[in-house]
Amino acid sequence: MKPKRYNQPIRKATYNDKVDILNVIGSHKEAKWDKPIAKKYFDDFFKYPELFKKDKVYVIEKDGAIIGVIGYSIDKYETKNYWLGWFYIHSEYCKKGHGKELFHFIKEKLKNMNVKKLFVDTSSDELYKTALLSYIKFGFKLEAIIKGYYGKKEDQLILSIDL
Give the number of domains in the chain.
Answer: 1
Averaged pLDDT, groups of 10, the chain, 163 residues long? 67 97 93 89 96 94 96 83 95 94 95 93 93 96 96 95 95
CA dist 119 → 39, 46, 83, 141, 142 (Å) = 22, 23, 5, 9, 10
pLDDT value, residue 118 = 96
pLDDT at 31: 75
**60 within domain boundaries:** yes
Domain containing residue 77: CATH number: 3.40.630.30
85 contacts: CB under 8 Å, gap ≥ 6:
41, 55, 57, 70, 71, 72, 73, 120
Q: Please report whether residue 2 resides in a domain.
A: no
| 68 domain residue, yes or no | yes
Residue 152 counted as domain residue: no
Q: What is the pLDDT of residue 30?
A: 80
pLDDT at 73: 94
Domain residue limits at 74: 10-115
| Rounded distance between C-alpha atoms, residue 67 and residue 64, angstroms | 9
Query: How high is the pLDDT of residue 1?
Result: 40
Q: Would you say 12 and 57 are in contact if contact means Cβ atoms under 8 Å apart?
A: yes
Task: Specify the pLDDT at position 7.
Answer: 79
